[in-house]
Structure 1
Amino acid sequence: MLTVLGGREPQLRVHLHAGFHIGMSKEDMQEVILQTIPYAGFPTAINAWNLLQQIAKELEEAK
């Protein structure tokens, strides 16, 4: 829902971090984002996708 609403990047960031924390893979979360395209549109989904990539990179660098 946060992806579909757009403009909710701070809240989406928290939920993506939580997804990683509970063991979701980046690929799982990418699939969820892809499923939002018909509802949110491609630009909004790309914003969420880019945020996911940024968070994954930050977590990888923190290891």
Structure 2
Amino acid sequence: MLGYSYEAANAVLFQRADRLVAVWDGKPPSGKGGGTADTVLEARSAGIPVDVVWPDGAARRR
């Protein structure tokens, strides 16, 4: 059973998506779960291609 609404929404997203486009600043997960970083990491783990749109001022981590 999924504990939070974002988990249920992500489960549906991952079942239906051929690709994920995320507006993400590249920061790691905050530990709260359900954020953009968590969603990007889950999609990549599921083999879903991810395109990241970088917002102004965001820096890529190396």
Q: TM-score, normalised by structure 1?
A: 0.41
Q: TM-score, normalised by structure 2?
A: 0.41
